[in-house]
Amino acid sequence: MYLSGVRTVRFTIGSIDDLSPEAPAIAECATILHQGGLVAIPTETVYGLAANALNPAAVMRIFEAKGRPAWDPLIVHVSAFEMVPRVAAEFPALAQQLTGRFWPGPLTLLLPKSTQLPNTVTAGRATVAVRMPAHPVARALIAAADLPLAAPSANRFGRISPTTADHVLSELDGRIDAVLDAGPAEVGVESTVLDPLRTPPLLLRPGGVTREQIEAIVGRVELYSPPGPTPRPGALASPGLAARHYAPTARLVLVDGERDALLKAARDYVASEGERGNYVGIMAPDNWIDDTILAAGGIVLFAWGAWSDWAQIGRNLFAGLRYLDKPGVNVILCPLPSAEGMGLALRDRLMRAARTS
């Protein structure tokens, strides 16, 4: 039996050519999951912290390892459509229209929960959030274990989601049994969470599948606007969205507007922080920062990518926030994408990361 709190084993996928159930990394991780253990798994969005969704004790361990409050429900991951009835009591036509188009992929749907699924997974709710990840390693493991896997992002609660196995270990080493390392995540931002049981469907969390893509299939969707901090997050439509989240330790300052606005903010903050001996971190799109600003010193840059390449900007977002969040960096400056396409999800994550409560 694997012992949590002792040692976290890293299994590495050498080649995605061998993802058979007998491949050693897949077979070992499937065994751990069957024994009620915790395995951090690669998905196309971010790494998830997985346990057998049908084992309440295993699911409890996810909440303990992350320090996640029990009111915040988990997403259940499946590898095939045939697995959905093991966790959901119904799969309405509108939901099937969406999954027909976007599964496997970064779309999570709320469905009426099956009675077999432990209440710990859904935090006592009548619905379960279900998704079929696009990552071949995630699906190979779910299929090999033949278990639906409950998996939130594999970070400590409220912190930045992990896009590499190293990110996972930096926060959860010794608290989970294993991490299955398949390299950096492709999308870099979590899945879109949609409630298709409402009319119109309610977009709870923007993500890898865009609002425009969903509306092209099912017509208008409503955008959920989470309230500010609340004493009863468990009562909200999507409880996880109420709090400060994805947060670095340094103060994150968002700059709306384009290059000129960022350069002005950089000059101002370098002057004020420099007086106190602090550095200013900058999430810097390609070719935005010029030599005159760098010459002044006091800046740590993260090369974020081309500002119009939203796939690249999304992929690098969390790695950049982690990179800049280091001792001596007091403030991180970050330009805000506009709210179209992937930009909606990027803005959402940045605005929650910048909240102070």
- Find which of ligand TXA, Mg ion, none residue 238 binds, CB within 5 to 8 Å per kind: ligand TXA
Taking CB atoms, the residue at the shortest distance from ligand TXA is 240
Using alpha carbons, list the distances in angstroms from residue 32 to 62, 86, 124, 177.
Answer: 14, 20, 26, 8
> What per-residue string of b and e applies to 291-311 under the rule 16 or more CB within 10 Å gives b?
eebeeeebbebbebbebeebb
Task: Please report, for the chain, how many H helices and E strands are present, in that order.
Answer: 11, 15
- Which among 121-129, 174-182, 251-259, 289-297 is the span making contact with ligand TXA, rule CB under 6 A? 121-129
Q: Which is nearer to ligand TXA, 57 or 126 (CB)?
A: 126
Check: CB of residue 30 under 8 Å from CB of residue 144: yes
Which residues between 207 and 246 bind ligand TXA (CB under 6 A)? 238-241
Dihedral-angle region of residue 73 (phi above 0 means left; psi in -120 to 50 means alpha; beta otherwise): beta
Burial of 125 (0-12, 13-18, 19+ CB in 10 A): middle
* Coil vs helix vs strand at 223: strand
Residue 268 exposure: Cα atoms within 13 Å on the Cβ side? 10
Which residues between 170 and 209 bind ligand TXA (CB under 6 A)? 190-191, 193, 204-205
- Give the integer Cα–Cα distance in Å for 187 and 312: 8
- Which among 18-26, 125-133, 219-227, 278-286 is the span making contact with ligand TXA, rule CB under 6 A? 125-133
> CB of residue 263 vs ligand TXA: minimum separation in angstroms?
34
Q: Which is nearer to ligand TXA, 109 or 144 (CB)?
A: 109
* CA 200 from centroid of its chain's CA atoms: 25
> CB of residue 40 vs Mg ion: minimum separation in angstroms?
13
Residue 110 is a binding residue for ligand TXA (CB under 6 A) = yes
Burial of 290 (0-12, 13-18, 19+ CB in 10 A): exposed
Number of residues that bind Mg ion (CB under 5 A): 1
Q: What angle do CA 191, 194, 197 make, to 5 degrees?
A: 155
- Of the candidates 101, 125, 156, 259, which one interacts with ligand TXA according to CB under 6 A? 125
- Of the candidates 8, 43, 79, 163, which one interacts with ligand TXA according to CB under 6 A? 43
Number of residues that bind ligand TXA (CB under 6 A): 29
Would you give the binding string for ligand TXA spanning residues 256-295, x where CB under 6 A is met?
----------------------------------------
Would you give the binding string for Mg ion spanning residues 139-158, x where CB under 5 A is met?
--------------x-----
The residue with tokens 């920062």 is: 289
Would you give the binding string for ligand TXA spanning residues 137-176, x where CB under 6 A is met?
--------------xxx-----------------------
Specify the DSSP class assigned to residue 162. P
Would you give the binding string for ligand TXA spanning residues 44-83, x where CB under 6 A is met?
-xx-x-----------------------xxxx--------
| Residues shown for the chain | 357
Q: Which two tokens stand for residue 355?
A: 């909240």
> CB of residue 92 vs ligand TXA: minimum separation in angstroms?
15
> CB of residue 205 vs ligand TXA: minimum separation in angstroms?
6
- Give the integer Cα–Cα distance in Å for 15 and 7: 25
Instruction: Catalog residues that contact ligand TXA under the rule CB under 6 A.
Output: 43, 45-46, 48, 72-75, 106, 108, 110, 122, 125, 127-129, 131, 151-153, 190-191, 193, 204-205, 238-241
Instruction: Catalog residues that contact Mg ion under the rule CB under 5 A.
Output: 153
